[in-house]
Structure 1
Amino acid sequence: MASSSTLYVDLDGSLIATDLLHESLLSLVRVEPLAFLHLPRWLMQGKAALKRELASRAEIDVTTLPYRPEVLKFVQDARADGRRVVLATASDSGLALKVAEHLDIFDGVLASDGEHNLGGARKLEAMQVDAAGKDFSYLGDRPVDLAVWRGAESAVVVSRSDGLARRAASVTRLDAHIKPAAVSLKRYLYALRVHQWLKNVLVFLPLMPVLHALDWRVVFHAGVAFFAFGLMASSIYVLNDLLDLSSDRRHKRKRFRPFASGEISVPTGLWMCAGLCSASLLLSLLLLPPMFMGVLLIYLVLTTTYSFYLKRRAIVDVFSLAGLYTVRVAAGAAATGLPLSFWILSFSLFIFLSLALAKRYVELSGTPAEVYQMTQDRNYHPVDLPLVLCAGVAAGQMSALVLSLYLNDQQMLARYSNPALLWILIPVFLFWIMRIWLKAVRGALHDDPVVFAARDWVSRLALVIGAAALWAAG
């Protein structure tokens, strides 16, 4: 490697494990959804003009971008060897300059300027002019960079593809092949939040009054509804993660999520979102009653509205979350044709409002940085903590009261041969909800109470006792 040659470093996909154009588009959708309608007009003015418009509106924190540590080390080693290093990117110069200023490892920046898009052959021309006829190396990550490597003295390839490295080596000297780690299936499943499918067990709740007289059709339809809701919920989780990239990267745990860390690309995430949503709707259309499709579409509209707007409105957000849980119960009734009990709806509203408030309480009790992020993203403030605590505990107690009244309903009692045994559910449930809040106050609760309950042995024991009481009462 010639120590005197300039090293030009690509940004998108090379220095960072994401693409600033994709991130700018997501930021626009999140901050100014209606501005998305201007995209065709901006694109007609040229790709460089589009990037300039997006960069001027994007809220991208360059300090939290997923920089590739192995590429940073390569660049730092090049500088230590006395080489001139220049950031050369097709991204808009406004964002590129912020990246360069943050890293402070580049001697110059070549980027799109609103009139000229610095990609492919145009990037090569800009580097040749900047190098003033001298040899240079180029670090890139995709096949389009072959046009640049043909005019370079040597190539540094950042890609998992051995084929791309071979193609680069066929047009110039290959100095290095930096291979980012492959994404495991486990990480894709985590992005889908498969563990959150536990929440969809709520579709089986309408079956509780008829446990003693179930038939296979009811169970089958409830099972299909479970999977349909799981697929739809996963698509929304992916969308949420894409919209929350910036805030997730500032969170001590969420920054390791597959999209925030750059392990899974934005385009892949969008395809995942569309595919999961389509699969859910198709499954519902083919195997479930039309009423279920209606409830599923209501869930889709409500949860999408939550993602774009409602989750940034204090109090409105927790009622929205409670409503999303309750919709799952309504979906179970729609799928099975069973009547939707007023008692069950009332119980669902109170218990899920309590759990949603517990989630907010945990987030609002975090580090100063997390509390600041809550203020920015959720419009909650530190002074709201006592209100959230009181409202959450009160909602939990109200859910226990509704459950006790439901177990005393004459129609409910008539379905069981030993209804007195059902009262075991009351102290067990009261103990469980109080323990959830005790954990929250002590800072020992996962920020999602439902996930905590799934992993907590005491919660599992309470569930077993409750199921045993229902079986013995029948």
Structure 2
Amino acid sequence: MKQDDAAAFSGGQPQPLQGEWLLCDLDGTLIASDMLDESFWAASAHNPLAPLGAARALASGGRSGLKAQLAGLTTVAPEVLPYRAPVLELLESWRAAGGRCALVTASDERIARAIADHLGLFDAVHGSTAGQNLKGAAKAAFILEHYGAQVTYVGDSAADLAVWQSVERGITVAAPQALRRKAEATPAQILHMETAPPETGHRLPPLLRALRPHQWLKNLLIFLPMLAAHALELSTFLQSLVAFVAFSLVASSVYVLNDLLDLAADRAHPRKRHRPFASGALPLRTGFWLAPGLVLAGFALALTLGPVFLAVMALYYALTTAYSFRLKRLAILDICTLAALYAMRVVAGGAATGIELSAWLLAFTIFLFFSLAAVKRQAELVDNQASGREAAAGRGYRTEDLMLVSMMAVASGYLSVLVMALYVESEAVQGLYATPQALWGACGVLLYWLSRCVLLTHRGEMHDDPVVFALRDRTSQVCMVLILGLFTAGSF
């Protein structure tokens, strides 16, 4: 490490000479993400066939051709990217002290310029073009040719070691210890910049959050056919349990895919922007192996339950994938799809155990979960109204649709209560319950709970997912216990 330039880092902070250049990398440095991955998922969100075009571009033009292809397919919104606050502060203080800043990145130059224009912190911008991938040794040679060695380079990866070998000073950003040691072994004078958690934290917590294990509770619907038919044998329970695990793995795969395709909309949302991929806590590249790995594991388990269950799961996966790519952007149809996906969990429970489903159960499930899906959209529109936005990001609704969506939530919820009430008076219930009158109490509790959900959502007090809200809300927990208790009491 050179010691003759220590004055440049006085007080542990880089201090420029008048007009001195600070060269900053983009991927993993200025932002806690990678623009190649961002471009890939943004292009895929607009066109499901974009990955095929990307593969052709990579085969014919290498990484630089791939970057140019993806940059031409879509526009990544620079205002919602996960910027690293300490790096932004460094750029601002450097310019305030009389220095100059340049963005030098392996990302496509068009994307780099859009980001630089948004931030207004750079005096020059350099990125990859169709014929040049500005990374590693190529970036080091470019910097020496255009700026010389007396610069400070800010980077974050092993590819930046070639640059630190060539320049006077360097700063690592959120670098692991192994990379820090390698950087310190270069001729450059090195400083290390920390970033706030979760960016420098362990990858396991955000990885688990990306799977959304709390959403697996929706898959408890798989046990509903077994409970409704009072088929409480151990073999039936084990079949339902395997189906539950298989559905949970496949559902998590879809959640990961949905988060990757919905990055821009999530980052514009007051709560969803904290999701692991949207916030930058989890690299987007993780999704390339996580999503297919989960779905393969889920289908491997599904094979043990027979062809009917496997077919139901395949249909579920196809419908959820279609929802992620397109259906979630279509008003009304997105709510219908969510209700159908809930109903398919019940169908899967019947397919796994061989229990024939009643029309009562299917009708109740469809109306109830259409209502909850509408409540979810209602909550998003209430957030839009509070923030003054005219449309829901990534959805087919406008804020003016709030009243209609609320009406759909109420009407469908009350229809589910009506179906339950008709079921209580049907002949089918007489053979399953010794005291079916107790089920009338369950109808009353469900009526209260659904009405309360819509009211709280109207007031802006509902989590955007009513199922998650119900699991955390004390009143909802009491209602669930009462309903289970009344159904149990009806059996005796």
Matches within 5 A, 1:402-417: 402-417=419-434
CA contact under 8 A between 1:364 and 1:370: conserved in structure 2? no
Who is 1:234 aligned against? Answer: 252
Aligned to 1:61: 77
Q: Does 1:346 align with 2:346?
A: no
Spell out the pairing of 1:321-360 with structure 2 (5 A cutoff).
Answer: 321-360=338-377
**Cα offsets for 1:35-75 (capped at 9, x unmatched):** 43222332213432322221122221111111111222223
Deviation at 1:354, TM superposition (A): 0.7
Query: Please, what is the CA RMSD of the aligned residues?
Result: 1.8
Task: Report the 3-state secondary structure (helix = DSSP H, G, I; strand = E; otherwise coil) of the residue aligned with 1:252.
Answer: coil
Contact preservation (8 Å) 2:262, 2:394 = no
CA contact (8 A) 2:225 2:350 kept: yes
Name the SS for the 2:339 alignment partner.
Answer: helix
TM superposition shift of 1:368 = 4.5
Instruction: Give the structure-1-normalised TM-score.
Output: 0.95
Residues in 2 aligned to 1:116 and 1:272: alpha-carbon distance in whole angstroms? 31
Pair 1:308-2:322 in alignment: no
In structure 2, the partner of 1:161 is 176
Identify the residue that residue 198 of structure 1 maps to in structure 2. 217
Letter in 1 for 2:330: R
Distance 1:33 1:127, change over 3 A: same
Write out per-residue CA displacement over residues 160-195 of structure 1, whole angstroms, 9 at most, x where no aligned residue: 411111111112234311234214643322211111
**Alpha-carbon distance between aligned partners in 2 of 1:453 and 1:221, rounded to the nearest angstrom:** 27
Q: How many pairs align?
A: 471
2-structure distance, mates of 1:232, 1:129: 51
Letter of the structure 2 residue corresponding to residue 202 of structure 1 = L
Aligned residue for 1:101?
Answer: 117
CA distance in 1, matches of 2:308, 2:109: 52
4+ long deviations beyond 6 Å = none
Q: Which residue, 135, 142, 147 being the options, matches 1:126?
A: 142
Is 2:419 the counterpart of 1:380?
no
Quote the Cα distance in structure 2 between the aligned partners of 1:467 and 1:110.
Answer: 63
**Partner secondary structure for residue 377 of structure 1:** coil
1:50-107, Cα deviation, whole Å (9 max, x unpaired): 2222112222111111111122222333333433321110111111111112222222
User: Do residues 90 (structure 1) and 134 (structure 2) align?
Assistant: no
> In structure 2, what is the Cα distance between the partners aligned to 1:52 and 1:415?
65
**How far 1:134 moved relative to its partner?**
4.7
- Aligned partners of 1:384 and 1:170: how far apart in 2? 61
The 3-state SS of whatever aligns with 1:11 is: coil
1:375 Cα shift? Answer: 4.4
Q: Which amino acid aligns with 1:158?
A: V
Could you say which residue in structure 2 is the equivalent of 1:182? Answer: 201
460 and 375 in structure 1: CA distance in 2 versus 1, 3 angstrom threshold: closer
What SS class does the counterpart of residue 217 from structure 1 fall into? helix
Distance 1:77 1:386 in 2: 49
- Structure 1, unaligned runs of 5 or more: none
User: For the residues of structure 1 that align with 2:261 and 2:56, how far apart are their CA atoms?
Assistant: 23
How do 1:388-399 and structure 2 match up within 5 A? Answer: 388-399=405-416
Q: In the alignment, which residue of structure 2 is the partner of 1:298?
A: 315
The alpha carbon displacement at 1:328 in A equals 0.4
Q: Which moved more, 1:37-46 or 1:161-170?
A: 37-46
Q: Does 1:277 align with 2:292?
A: no
CA contact (8 A) 2:24 2:104 kept: yes
The one-letter code matched in structure 2 to 1:345 is L
Deviation per CA, 1:203-251: give whole Å up to 9, x if none: 111123333x511011111112112111111111111111111111111
Deviation string, structure 1 residues 371-424 (Cα, Å, up to 9, x no partner): 747445212123322221222211111111111111222122112222222222
Deviation per residue, 1:419-451 (Å, 9 max, x gap): 222222111111111111121222221111111
Secondary structure at the counterpart of residue 117 of structure 1? coil
Q: TM-score, normalised by structure 2?
A: 0.91
Deviation at 1:319, TM superposition (A): 0.1
| Letter aligned with residue 229 of structure 2 | V
Distance verdict in 2 for CA 1:52–1:124, change over 3 Å? same
